[in-house]
Chains A and B, each alone.
Chain A
Amino acid sequence: MMPPQGSEFAGEVDVVYMALFWLSVVLFLGIAIAAIGFAWRYRYKPGRVTPHQTHNTTLEIVWTVIPLLLCVAIFFWGLNGWMKYAVAPGEAMEVQITARKWSWAFEYPDGSRTVNEIHVPVNKAVRFVMTSEDVLHDFFVPDMRVKHDIVPGRYTEVWFTPTVLGTHVVTCAEYCGKGHSDMQAKLVVDNDADFQKFMETGGTEWEDYKNKPAEWGKLQWERKGCSTCHSIDGTRIANGGPSWKGIWGKMETMNDGKQYLVDAAYVEESEFYPNAKVVKGFDPIMPSFQGLLRSHELQGIQAFIKSLGNDPNAGPPAPTVLSLPPKPAPGQPAANP
């Protein structure tokens, strides 16, 4: 009657469920057999006089107290299981969920993001900190036996330790409108090796932008904080950096008087060694993005800046398709991921 068990907690919940199931079967059969049995055994015979049994106080007490004791026991049993669900262990990996009509956005501690698909390592606790961009949603993973509403304007939490490899369904369980029943996600439980591989690529969202690198780059401009200092409409942001508008393919003058071409290599150097070249009139205040930008994100930014050029078709080439760097040969240092 229950879905496959994806965690130990699922197993514990199922024990309670099955106990309640059998208790219900026994009690229901008691009711049905009594009702139908009495209707048959004491079926109408004309002239029969029925006994005048008005009450039996002892019986009333017995069938009040015994169910009460049963209820108390079941309450504590349920509470016991629930307490495990309610408190995440300290070492749980935290994943942020932003739910919106009608998709799931996941973000890992290292900033990797995915949409509608999440990978977690087996046998490690994972804790989801969730909020909504719009209306109520609910994060429900049947195989793990957990769910919790996602409330706009606050954070709610749910956690579990998956113990079974494979793909599990995540499904929205709070009515949210037209796309409510289409709002599914995939929860993939990986072994450690596969999970590492997944994390190295920074999630799977970028795959949707493979052929739209400039759009991907714009997202990075928003998410990585570039927009705080660099405008894209030509205006100069106070205490910031140069606008990206129209700079692609320009010969830019630095504060030491030297001139350099703004191309893909220049952008890459600016991201990772920002103070190697500082444009004239600006201060050396840009933080480094070493280790904070995946290769496909850098490619996106390069493509995006080119798209902001006076003539996007002119100037040095920028990536037209997002890709991952090839894996280094054993013994060789890895390229910037």
Chain B
Amino acid sequence: MEHALTSQTRIGEKPRPKKNYLNETTGFWSWAGTLDHKRIGVMYLVGVLSAFFIGGVFALIVRLSLLTPKHMLFGRVLISADTYNRMFTLHGVVMIFLFIIPSVPAALGNFAMPLMLGAKDVAFPRLNLASFYLWCTGAVMGVTSMLTGAVDTGWTFYTPYSTTTNGTVSLMVMAAFVLGFSSIFTGINFVATVHKLRAPGMGFFDMPLFVWGIYSTAIIQVLATPVLGITLLLLAIERSFSIGIFDPKLGGDPVLFQHFFWFYSHPAVYIMILPGMAIISELIPTFSKKTMFGYRAVAYSSVSLALLSFIVWGHHMFVAGQSQLATVVFSALTFLVAIPSGVKMFNWLSTMYKGNISLETPMMYAISFLMLFGIGGLTGIFLGTLATDVHLTDTYFVVAHFHYVMMGGTVIAFLGGIHYWWPKMTGRMYNERWGQIACVIVFIGFNMTFLTQFILGSRGMPRRYYNYLDQYQGLHAFSTYGSWVLGLGLFITAAYLLASLRKPYDAPENPWGGSTLEWKTSSPPIAHNFEEQPVLERAPYDYRPEAVTF
């Protein structure tokens, strides 16, 4: 499979500068006190991938325990029910609050967006560093909670179980509170950056679609996260001072908690998927060497998803005890929110049509995304449909659905984005052959793990179960084997990516023939991004031969 390293990518390329943002200054404080969005992005990347590793270990423990109905391995009980309940809770908490919410915006968005806008940095570099330190603080609080009693409530902290169980619940929810501010600050920063720091000649509809996605995400981050913050604060207050907000024994309402919680957490899933979709909108035109089909439709769909995401939260509560009228209305609105995602899917496929497609690792991840997010989105229909949701909610069907959209969607896109921008961020090319192999292993392992869970759920296997009836063992065992394959694929990915860092710089400015401004500077970029303020000369994704200037 040949690289898309055509002579097109070499036009205008200058010799590699001696100093770049990585080696310009050295020492701990040059990183710990940096205001450079690229360094902050790299630190975030290290942080969120570490969180991904920890959350992944919890997942492997959960799946190992589920290998047999009596959670036994070699004749001995692996972990107790209390430990199991902590494992799945921590898996969720770590993956959602420490990994996936920050992942694309804070790591890749921070790094790439100012470059794509032709800017020197984000609008508020100090606020950016503050976001990172808030993330670190939340991480330390969360780890402390894990080590001093941990939490067994599920990542959703439903009351009154969470207000009455023992464990370090208050510390954990306050960790999420702090992480929420990290997310809010990032959102504020990105909105301001997009509005104020675009290069001359770049109107809103000349921005790369990655920026539209990150921008839409930022709107949700700013509007929704405060609701979670207050909700978790109220939970901590109720636990500490026995004020009856959510516990009926104190005069509170458990369903109220669920409304507050999901009012954030539904938009939150769009904080997770919009950046992933934003990456796909970069990968597909670039690796098809063809202009993006339906640019405006895709841009508008990002914003409309952000707005629509706020009015469907009750679809998590169809059997929770909300009113019947609310249930009907939320189901109807949920179908509405499916439409913009479909629009994107059709436009991505139309972009590939009659393209000139090369299958480097980022593109393989993009194609994986189309299939896996396709399954995830389609299975959402079963859950939005009232008659079927009654049976399927709170079962493994839901677990499979959200893993397909969050992992098969966002994580796969994140991996595609990491590979795409790896040469730009690190100045090195990773081993392409291993990249493609690992992508296939990840794809196979992911499907082995989660596809059978749709069947488990349809057959009545509830979620968050430590024991299960014997009849479910075959599918559970298959899922556990899948988790090992998936783990192997991710481990290989980490290995060759880290190995590439030991090479000298070998990445050209534009290894993929990309059309957006970050490819018009060296790999890695110099500290202030561009030698001179770039002016937009080429519309994004314009692959007409006369338009290709870099």
Contacts and interface: CB of A to CB of B under 8 A. Distances in A.
Contacts of B375: 24, 28
A48 B321 CA distance: 59
Given A24-B379, A45-B356, A175-B154, A12 B387 contact: yes
Interface residues of A, number: 81
Given A42-B355, A42-B357, A169-B469, A53 B386 contact: no
Given A28-B375, A68-B339, A147 B349 contact: no
A77 B159 CA distance: 33
B295 interface: yes
A88 interface: no
Given A12-B387, A32-B371, A36-B367, A50 B356 contact: yes
Contact of B371 (A31, A71, A173): A31
User: Which among B81, B289, B386, B545 has the highest number of chain A CB atoms within 10 Å?
Assistant: B386
B345 interface: yes
A145 interface: yes
A140 interface: yes
Nearest to A144: B391
A186 to B, nearest CB: 12
B395 interface: yes
B293 A55 contact: yes
A177 B294 contact: no
Given A42-B357, A44-B356, A50-B355, A145 B386 contact: no
B4 interface: yes
Interface in B384-409: 384-391, 393-395
B456 to A, nearest CB: 10
Interface stretch (A150-158, A199-207, A208-216): A150-158
Interface string B251-280: 001110000000000000000000000000
A85 B290 contact: no
Interface in B277-318: 288-297
B465 to A, nearest CB: 4
B357 A44 contact: yes
A1 B464 contact: no
B290 A50 contact: yes
Contacts of A142: 391, 459-460
B204 interface: no
A46 B357 CA distance: 10
B335 interface: yes
B350 interface: yes
Contacts of B370: 31-32, 35
Given A68-B339, A147-B390, A24 B293 contact: no
B162 to A, nearest CB: 9
Interface in A176-235: 176-182
A79 interface: yes
Contact of B387 (A45, A67, A77, A149): A77
B400 to A, nearest CB: 12
B387 A28 contact: no
Contacts of A176: 161
A60 B387 contact: no
B505 interface: no
Contacts of A94: none
* Most interface-central of B158, B248, B460 (chain A CB within 10 A): B460
Nearest to B454: A1
A174 interface: yes
Contacts of A34: 349, 352-353
Given A78-B387, A82-B387, A156 B367 contact: no
Contact of A63 (B253, B342, B394): B342
B76 interface: no
A49 interface: yes
Interface stretch (A130-138, A275-283, A303-311): A130-138
A149 B320 contact: yes
A42 to B, nearest CB: 5
A175 B161 contact: yes
A17 B459 CA distance: 12
A171 interface: yes
A178 B82 contact: yes
Contact of A152 (B2, B254, B297): B254
B462 interface: yes
Contact of B462 (A149, A151, A173): A173
Given A20-B385, A136-B158, A151 B255 contact: yes
Contacts of A314: none
Contacts of B356: 42, 44-45, 48-50
Contact of B350 (A31, A59, A80): A59
A227 B40 CA distance: 70
A64 interface: yes
B291 A138 contact: no
Contacts of B290: 50-51, 53
B6 interface: yes
A16 interface: yes
A335 interface: no
Contacts of A147: 319, 390-391, 393-394
A173 to B, nearest CB: 4
Interface string B207-229: 00000000000000000000000
Interface in B365-387: 367, 370-371, 374-375, 378-379, 381-382, 384-387
Given A39-B357, A148-B321, A153-B249, 11 more contacts: A3-B460, A32-B371, A42-B352, A56-B294, A59-B346, A60-B297, A68-B336, A78-B331, A82-B327, A169-B469, A171-B462
7 contacts: A2-B458, A13-B388, A43-B357, A44-B357, A53-B291, A54-B292, A67-B342
Closest 5 CB pairs of A and B: A153-B248, A142-B460, A81-B387, A78-B385, A82-B386
